[in-house]
Amino acid sequence: MSLQSFMTTQGVIARESRFGAKNYASLPVVLARGSGAHLFDTGGKRYIDMMSAYSAASFGHLHPRLVQALKNQLERLDIASRAFYSDNLGLFCEELAALTGLDACLPMNTGAEAVETAIKAARRHGYDRFSIPEGQAEIIVAEGNFHGRTTTLIGFSSEPSYRRGFGPFAPGFVTVPFGDASALEASIGPNTAAVLIEPIQGEAGIIVPPKGYLASLRRICDRHGILLIFDEVQSGFGRTGKNFCFEHEDALPDGLILGKALGGGLLPVSAFVARRAVMDVFDPGSHGSTFGGNPLAAAVGREAIQVLKDEDLALRSHVLGKTLLGALSAIPHPAIVAVRGKGLWAAVELDASRVCVKEICIAMMRRGVLTRETHDTVIRFAPPLIIDEADLLTAVEVFHDALAETAASLASRP
């Protein structure tokens, strides 16, 4: 990196530190451009993207079909209030409902907004259809969950750093161990309205539940007559080797929360998709969003759905995911505690007494691969689904080298 590039990088970082909130501990790289599975810094250095913006860039950076869909819509109409109809929102809702196997769609912007929408739907459905006393509805959630950053959502998080200083929190949530269907069923009571679960827990470290867990949840919810809602904001749209993670066990939920990849990496687009009886709890004035379902979002979302199907990205994720997990599992190093994942969504859990996980990420960055740790013990591998196999294996090799370097450095310290 040239001195000029270094100074530019340092200047950008210093400016953001001075004028921005310090709510991220970013790696010291300043990105200026993206293309496909690659990112480029201000000095022109190319990096393999192994994060894909937490699945928001699942189709790669600036996918030409998605960019063109955005441009085409920009030539016609940008945003119109939901006080009026727009000509592609109904098509977007129809196509998303068909893709999921559900009946109706309520578009929002961020994943957290879509989760909040699902919570509203579950509570009102419980009051209207189950005759739960007003204000007493309960929703069962899992330990280790991550559903977003609103005060309601962090209120039932089990991560202290997400909660500290932000209370008081909303009641009405019952927490059970993730992956334990029996414990979940035992927690169901007369005021239980729904179960809200990530099929795979992403932020917790790509935690994959036991085989049959999702199907068990479907049977349990049917047996007790309560709603099953899956949060697939990260796991949806091919990430796990199926269009949606619930398809691995044919566990169609009553409600599905989507986001990130739905916006094609270009716009914040999310949605709550559900059975008609669940969606019909909403009536005019009960919920809304200024930007939710805007014409630009609908255009990009429709094209994202088509790209997913046309490029068979779920199958690509399944095939390359086996390559990724196989290559990671083949790395012989005593600091590796576990390798887990599904599709192109993998994690390597490391022994923090042997290595500094953040230093591994920095060493990988220096070698041209970008990813981040979670909970100081896990490195995530979630590249764009369009990544080439050669780049995928290069990223694993870089991780291997960075792991060895960092472990040796830590061992040599007094």
H or E element that contains 329: helix 313-329
Confidence class for position 274, pLDDT limits 50, 70, 90: very high
Same domain membership, residue 213 and residue 131: yes
For residues 211 and 197, state if they share a domain.
yes
Residue 341 lies in a domain: yes
What is the pLDDT confidence band of residue 337, given thresholds at 50, 70 and 90? very high
Is pLDDT at 369 greater than 70 in this prediction? yes
Same domain, yes or no: 259 and 347: no
Helix (H, G, I), strand (E, B) or coil at 82: coil
- The distance from CA 169 to its chain's CA centroid, rounded to whole angstroms, is 23
Q: Are residues 302 and 187 in the same domain?
A: yes
CA distance 110 to 259: 7
Given 310, 341, 375, the domain boundary residue is 310
142 with 243, same domain?
A: yes
Regarding whether 165 and 30 lie in a shared domain, the answer is: no
Rounded distance between C-alpha atoms, residue 252 and residue 49, angstroms: 32
Question: What's the sign of the alpha-carbon dihedral 360, 362, 367, 372?
Answer: positive
Q: Which of 231, 279, 283, 284 is nearest to 253 (CA)?
A: 231
When pLDDT is cut at 50, 70 and 90, the band that residue 7 belongs to is low
Which CATH number characterizes residue 398's domain? 3.90.1150.10
Per-residue pLDDT, averaged over 299-322, amounts to 98
Indicate if the pLDDT at residue 6 is higher than 70: no
Average pLDDT over residues 364-392: 97
Tell whether 283 and 169 lie within a shared domain.
Answer: yes
Q: What is the predicted pLDDT for the residue at 19? A: 95
- For residue 282, being part of any structural domain is answered with yes
Determine the Cα–Cα distance for residues 319 and 275; give it in Å rounded to an integer. 31
* 143 pLDDT more than 80: yes
Q: Look at residue 414 in the predicted model and tell me its pLDDT.
A: 64
Whether 71 maps to a domain, the answer reads no
Residue 207 lies in a domain: yes
Domain that residue 211 falls in: 77-310
User: Running DSSP on this structure, what letter comes out for residue 399?
Assistant: H
- The answer to whether residues 218 and 278 belong to one domain is yes
Looking at the chain, the whole-number percentage of residues with pLDDT higher than 70 is 97
- 47 and 58 co-located in one domain: yes
R_g of the chain computed on alpha carbons: 22
Q: Which of 127, 114, 86, 67 is nearest to 303 (CA)?
A: 67
Q: Write down the pLDDT at residue 9.
A: 85
Q: And the tokens for 381?
A: 């591998």
Residues 288, 338 within the same domain: no
Report how far Cα 127 is from the mean position of its chain's Cα atoms: 30
- Residues 18-39: pLDDT tens digits? 999 999 999 999 999 999 999 9
Question: Is pLDDT of 204 > 90?
Answer: yes
Q: What is the DSSP letter of 150?
A: S
Three-class secondary structure of residue 274 per DSSP: strand
pLDDT of residue 203: 95
For residue 4, the model assigns a pLDDT of 53
Which of 293, 310, 327 is the last residue in one of the domains? 310
At 226-271, the pLDDT tens digits run 999 999 999 999 999 999 999 999 999 999 999 999 999 999 999 9
**Is residue 369 assigned to a domain?**
yes
Mean pLDDT of the chain, nearest integer: 96
Catalytic center residues: 146, 231, 260
Residue 2 reports pLDDT greater than 90:
no
Residue 67 domain-assigned (yes or no): no
Q: What is the arithmetic mean of pLDDT over 132-161? A: 97
Q: Which of 310, 334, 350 marks a domain boundary?
A: 310
Model confidence pLDDT, tens digit, residues 37-94: 999 999 999 999 999 999 999 999 999 999 999 999 999 999 999 999 999 999 999 9
What residues does 229 pair with on adjacent strands? Answer: 196, 255
Question: What is the DSSP annotation of 115-136?
Answer: HHHHHHHHHHHHHHHS-PPTT-
Does 50 map to a domain? yes
Tell which residue, 392, 378, 390, 380, has the closest CA to residue 324: 392
Number of structural domains (the chain) is: 2
Measured between alpha carbons, how far is 317 from 78 in angstroms, rounded to an integer? 33
Peptide bond into 177 cis (omega under 30): no
* Count helices and strands in the chain by DSSP H and E runs: 13, 15
Confirm whether 70 is domain-assigned. no
- Place 8 in a pLDDT band, splitting at 50, 70 and 90: confident
Token pair recorded at residue 265? 């990496």
pLDDT digits (tens, 9 = 90+) for 96-116: 999 999 999 999 999 999 999
Helix (H) or strand (E) run with residue 185 in it:
helix 181-186
Contact 140, 196 (CB under 8 A): yes
Q: Do 144 and 50 share a domain, yes or no?
A: no
**7 and 136 assigned to the same domain:** no
Q: In whole angstroms, give the CA distance from residue 278 to residue 314.
A: 28
What's the CATH code of the domain at 203? 3.40.640.10
Beta-bridge partners for 335: none
Per-residue model confidence (pLDDT) at position 409: 76
